[in-house]
C-alpha cells in the first residue's frame, strides 16, 4: 500500500489530517474512528495497535462538544453522575475483551450493533410518540437507559466506532430531551468512555506514538469545528446526518 512507503513527515501530516476529519465526524454525530483507524492501518500499523492508538488519539475530539453544549450538560449533571458507574464498569469490560479475549466473535456483531442503533435513532420520534403514555420516570425507561449505557460502554471499550450514534439512539428513546440536549449527553458520555479506555491502553502500552500525537492535535481542532457546524444546523438536518453517518458506518463494516 502506498501509505506504508510515505516518509515520516508525510505520515505525520496524514495522521493529523485524519484527526481533523475524525474530529469533525465526532463533533457532528460520531464515527470518527472510521476515519482514524483505517488511516493507521493503511500506514502499516497492526490492527490491535491501530485500534488502541486511535482510541487514545480521538479523546480531544469530544472537548468541543463538551464546551459547545455545556449548558445542556449542566442541566443534566445529576443524570450524568448516575450514569458514571455503568460507563466505568462497561468500558473496563470492553477493554478486557479487547486485550484478553478473542476478537473474532465480537467483530462479527459490530456492524449489526451500529445498524440497529441507526434504525433505532431513525425511529426514535415514532417510538417516543407511542410511549407518551409511559411516564419518563418509569422504571422500565430508567433501567433501559442504565443497561443500554453499560452495553454501549462495553462496545466503546472494545472498539468504539459509531459510539456516538449508539448513545444518541439510546438517549433519544429513553429521555424527554431535545436534539441539543442529546448531543450534549452524547459528548460527555463519549468522553468518559474514551478517557477510561485511553487510560487502560496508556497503562498497557504498545501505542503507535508517532500516530497518536498528530491525532491528538487534529481531533482537537476537528472536534471544535464539528461542534460549531452542528449548532448552526436545523434539528432535522442533524438527525439526517446522524442517520447517514450510521448507515455509512454499517455498510463500511459489512463490506470490510
The string of pLDDT tens digits covering residues 172-181 is 888 888 888 8
Residue 218 resides in a domain: yes
Residue 82 resides in a domain: yes
Residue recorded with cell 458507574: 85
Residue recorded with cell 449527553: 185
DSSP assigned state of 30: S
What does the pLDDT look like over 161-210, one tens digit per residue? 778 888 888 888 888 888 888 888 999 999 999 999 999 999 988 899 99
Helix axes 163-174, 179-204, angle to 10 degrees: 140
**What secondary structure does DSSP assign to 171-182, as a single string?**
HHHHS---HHHH
Residue 110 resides in a domain: yes
Identify the burial level of 188 via C-beta atoms within 10 angstroms of its C-beta, where 0-12 means exposed, 13-18 middle and 19 or more buried: buried
- 43 phi and psi angles, rounded to 5 deg: -95, 10
d(CA 126, CA 139): 21
d(CA 149, CA 173): 13
Residue 124 resides in a domain: yes
Half-sphere exposure (Cβ direction) of 51: Cα atoms closer than 13 Å? 18
Question: Does the model's pTM come out above 0.85?
Answer: no
| pLDDT for the residue 255 | 78
d(CA 38, CA 219): 15
Grid cell for residue 141: 425507561
Grid cell for residue 121: 435513532
Supply the range of the domain harboring residue 109.
6-255
The answer to whether 185 and 80 are in contact (CB under 8 A) is: yes
Residue 138 resides in a domain: yes
Number of domains in the chain: 1
| pLDDT for the residue 132 | 57
- 133 phi and psi angles, rounded to 5 deg: -75, -10
Residue 159 resides in a domain: yes
Half-sphere exposure (Cβ direction) of 57: Cα atoms closer than 13 Å? 37
How far from chain centre, in Å, is Cα 232?
Answer: 21
* Of 213 and 50, more confident: 213
Going by C-alpha positions, the residue among 83, 84, 60, 80 that lies closest to residue 70 is 80
Share the mean pLDDT of the chain.
Answer: 84
What does the pLDDT look like over 51-93, one tens digit per residue? 899 999 999 999 887 888 888 888 899 999 999 999 999 999 9
Which of 74-78, 125-129, 141-145 has maximum average pLDDT?
Answer: 74-78
Q: How many angstroms separate the most distant Cα atoms in the chain?
A: 61
Residue 1 resides in a domain: no
Residue 61 resides in a domain: yes
Amino acid at each position: 500500500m502506498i501509505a506504508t512507503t510515505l516518509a515520516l513527515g508525510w505520515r505525520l501530516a496524514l495522521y493529523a489530517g485524519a484527526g481533523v476529519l475524525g474530529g469533525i465526524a465526532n463533533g457532528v454525530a460520531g464515527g470518527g474512528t472510521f476515519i482514524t483507524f483505517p488511516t493507521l492501518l493503511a500506514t502499516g500499523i497492526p490492527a490491535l495497535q491501530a485500534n488502541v492508538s486511535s482510541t487514545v488519539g480521538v479523546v480531544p475530539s469530544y472537548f468541543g462538544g463538551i464546551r459547545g453544549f455545556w449548558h445542556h450538560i449542566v442541566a443534566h449533571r445529576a443524570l450524568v453522575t448516575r450514569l458514571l458507574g455503568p460507563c466505568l464498569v462497561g468500558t473496563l469490560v470492553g477493554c478486557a475483551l479487547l486485550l484478553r479475549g478473542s476478537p473474532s466473535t465480537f467483530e462479527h456483531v459490530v456492524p449489526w450493533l451500529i445498524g440497529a442503533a441507526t434504525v433505532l435513532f431513525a425511529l426514535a420520534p415514532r417510538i417516543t410518540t407511542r410511549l407518551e403514555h409511559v411516564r419518563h420516570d418509569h422504571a422500565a425507561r430508567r433501567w433501559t437507559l442504565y443497561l443500554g449505557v453499560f452495553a454501549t460502554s462495553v462496545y466503546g471499550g472494545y472498539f468504539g466506532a459509531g459510539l456516538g450514534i449508539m448513545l444518541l439512539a439510546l438517549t433519544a428513546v429513553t429521555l424527554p430531551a431535545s436534539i441539543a440536549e442529546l448531543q450534549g449527553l452524547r459528548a460527555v458520555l463519549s468522553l468518559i468512555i474514551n478517557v477510561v479506555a485511553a487510560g487502560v491502553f496508556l497503562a498497557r502500552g504498545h501505542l503507535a506514538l508517532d500516530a497518536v500525537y498528530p491525532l491528538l492535535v487534529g481531533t482537537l481542532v476537528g472536534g471544535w469545528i464539528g461542534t460549531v457546524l452542528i449548532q448552526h444546523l436545523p434539528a432535522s438536518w442533524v438527525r439526517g446526518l446522524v442517520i447517514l453517518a450510521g448507515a455509512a458506518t454499517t455498510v463500511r463494516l459489512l463490506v470490510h
